[in-house]
Chain A
Amino acid sequence: MKKKIIALFLFATLMLGLTACSEAEAEATKLVIAARGGSHVDAMNAVKEKFEQENNVTIEILGLEGADLKQKISLDSKNATASYDLIMADDPWMPELCEAEIFANLDELGVSGDEDFESASLNLGKYPYATGKLYALPFSGNVQLFFYNKEIFSSEGLDVPTSWEEVLSAAKEISETEGHIGYAVRGQQGNPIVSDFLPVYWAFGGSVFNDDWTAAFNNETGIDALNMYIELYNAGANYEKADIVSSVSEGSAGMSLGWPSWYISGENASAEYAPIPSKAYNSSMESSTGMIGNWMMGVTNNSVNKEIAAKFLTYITSSEIQKEMVNFGGVPTRKSVYLDEELIAKNKHFPIQLEALTNSVARPRTPKWSEVETILGAELSAALAGTKSVEDALAAAEVEINALMQ
């Protein structure tokens, strides 16, 4: 009798095990995406359901703060099996992350960057930049624009500036009126001041590095550009992001640089916008000045779901889905989406943003950009705060960056 009971128990256990296995087989594959939190996550969540149903997958999207995102995807890259199948990355991180082989080669997964992607954006996902293999597709096509308060410009009879000489002149005029500041700089140490200063420097015809990766800013061009930036600050104020947006939107400040999502939400824009002035002085040559700041998305090299992850990447960056995501705060990277008449009617900034993207400038493509930005950011901050002269700050940054790049 005992033997029978044991045999029955073993049989039941075996059947339960088999049932569990067959259930597990029927279970949907789970894709985990490490994403930059905010509107990107909202937009993806809004369109993921169709893909989940068609492909029997569940998609979990983790929205993380920028620095946290970089840290987590870096740590996860050393695991045998990835926690994240797809990851988002700020475009300046691409050289560092590609060098560390965190991304899977998309060409090998059958994902191609077709010509509908704005080439300035697509190039960011290739390593080496623009010429190499494709590791990530542009997910969000941010590019810096010039923002100004329309009422102030109308009351002062000012035209939209096309050179930084004109920006300074307008800033001085605005700052002379009571209760107004001319130009709001974003001068916090680190990434903010570097992102805010470089468009000015580029307009002066400067570049951060020479061809041999030595620092190229400690010269007359760099000094002139930084002096211009400090003069703009003197005709305005040094604000952090929230204060910049509120002051330009509400009319206590005249102008600033910014990312479109700061001021523009769907059909509404709290300030007028234009491409960033491309000349230092009215008599100068034009240069590309709009800093590109795309969020890229790629498949992790250690993902066990590479094929389905690649399929989702193709889906989420397709023209059709990008058009849908626009309604949920998505920022397109495809020309066909920017040029869609129906979308332009609702998003009047699209033509200007596409123009800015086309003429945009990418931050230097070096794996050491984070460190370069830290050094440059500290020295620019010192010059703006007046603890160092412009010449001393640029010279110190040059020495440190050259030592780093060796």
Chain B
Amino acid sequence: MKKQIVFHHIMTLPTILILAFLTLFPIIYTVYYSLTDFYYLSLASSTYIGLDNYIKILNDDIFRLSLRNTLKFMFFAVIIETFLGLVMALIIQNKKKRVAKIYRILFLLPTLLPPVTVALIWQMMLSNSRGVINQLLSYIGLGPYNWLQDVQLAMPSIILIDVWQWSPFAFLLIYAAIQTVPKTQYEAAMIDGASWGAKFIYITIPNISQAIFVVILLRTIDTFRLFDKVNILTKGGPANTTTTITQYIYQNGVNNLKVGYGSAVSILMVLMVLLLSSVYIKRAFGENNG
């Protein structure tokens, strides 16, 4: 038995080593760079500066603003997407199989599109001189609105686009969970004369809560990394109202090639995502297991 275990460990060791190399090595390197003043184009070698980058980041107004914007975006996008996903799933649940299939395909189309394509489509639709949305609003005497360059509208516009693209993803997971709810529970509730609301609260929600948590977890992590839409549509403007952490990393680490500084922001971002994820994971799975 012991021999078997040793053999098992020996056989899995190469895979573990490769995985460790591919995941740990970049992380260690990023942590190392974050403690230096590494500027990619510098001819001089980088020097160790301790936590200077981290102190500078935390004192930077733009970083704090980008963090606030990211959290704002995450909060609204995740709530709306999860809610709409749930609503869509409940609507489709009662449709006939063939009709449900058509709806499923239609709903999923935006999720299948690359973020760049989504951003470009919406850029044309939101155009304030020729965009279809302003044209439609003009028929009812509204607008034109400068969706992407107005400080009041830019962030809601980005949220709207994300909701359009990712609500179907939430729908997909929640819909799959709804399909697994035992029909017998509904039948028993019906016999007891339970209303639709009671069935929803006492049967549906408890049965799909795990799926909802997964949706919230995945969308939280993803919305925290918002980049493509902002970079294409607003470049973080107007007046930094849509600057996000990833945009901030891109601006410093990629655009200005300040790798040391960019690495420090990336480490902070990873820590924040881990923190958020761990809360959800613990809540969604840990308690049940415990």
Contacts and interface: CB of A to CB of B under 8 A. Distances in A.
A385 B255 contact: no
B1 interface: no
A385 B151 contact: yes
B110 interface: no
Contacts of A253: 129
Interface stretch (B185-193, B212-220, B233-241): B233-241
Interface stretch (A40-48, A70-78, A106-114, A216-224): A70-78
A249 B123 CA distance: 20
Interface in A171-212: 187-190, 192
B111 interface: no
Given A187-B149, A237-B129, A238-B149, A100 B41 contact: yes
B62 A243 contact: no
B237 A381 contact: yes
A386 B41 contact: no
A116 interface: no
Nearest to A382: B239
Interface size range on B against A: 20 to 34
Contact of A189 (B40, B146, B238, B255): B238
Contact of B236 (A190, A246, A252): A190
Contacts of B42: 100
A255 interface: no
A75 B40 contact: yes
Interface in B142-182: 146, 148-151
Interface in A351-394: 370-371, 374, 377-378, 381-382, 384-388
A386 B150 CA distance: 10
A99 B41 contact: yes
Q: Main SS of chain A's interface residues?
A: helix
B130 interface: yes
Contacts of B129: 237, 239, 243, 246-247, 252-253
A345 interface: no
Given A243-B129, A246-B129, A189 B237 contact: yes
A385 B151 CA distance: 7
A242 B254 contact: no
Contacts of A387: 151, 238-239, 241
Contacts, number: 93
Interface string B235-279: 111111100000000010011110000000000000000000000
Given A71-B254, A370-B256, A385 B238 contact: yes
Nearest to A70: B255
B43 interface: yes
A398 to B, nearest CB: 15
Interface string B19-50: 00000000000000000000011110000000
A370 B40 CA distance: 14
A96 interface: yes
B124 to A, nearest CB: 8
Nearest to B239: A382
Q: Main SS of chain B's interface residues?
A: loop
A23 to B, nearest CB: 38
A190 B237 contact: yes
Contacts of A78: 40
Contacts of B239: 189, 378, 381-382, 384-385, 387-388
A244 to B, nearest CB: 8
Nearest to A181: B129
Contacts of A26: none
A263 to B, nearest CB: 15
B255 A67 contact: yes
Interface in A229-268: 237-240, 242-243, 246-247, 252-253
B151 A188 contact: no
A70 B40 CA distance: 12
Contacts of B150: 385
Contacts of A240: 123, 127, 148-149
A254 B259 CA distance: 44
Nearest to A383: B239
A60 interface: no
B240 A382 contact: yes
A307 interface: no
Contacts of A246: 129-130
A237 B148 CA distance: 13
Contacts of A377: 237
A378 B62 contact: yes
Given A237-B129, A243-B130, A100 B43 contact: yes
B256 A243 contact: no
B135 interface: no
A188 B127 contact: no
Contacts of A100: 41-43
B128 interface: yes
A271 B41 CA distance: 41
A152 B96 CA distance: 58
Given A190-B236, A378-B62, A382-B240, A242 B127 contact: yes
Contacts of A238: 146, 149
Given A370-B256, A371-B256, A190 B235 contact: yes
A388 B151 CA distance: 12
Please name the 3 residue pairs, one residue from A and one from B, whose CB atoms are nearest each other, closest first.
A189-B237, A100-B41, A382-B239
Interface of B: 40-43, 62, 123, 127-130, 146, 148-151, 234-241, 251, 254-257
Given A74-B40, A253-B129, A385-B151, 15 more contacts: A71-B255, A74-B257, A78-B40, A97-B41, A189-B238, A239-B129, A242-B127, A378-B62, A385-B150, A385-B237, A385-B239, A385-B241, A387-B238, A387-B239, A388-B239
9 contacts: A71-B257, A74-B257, A99-B41, A188-B237, A189-B238, A240-B149, A242-B127, A381-B239, A387-B151
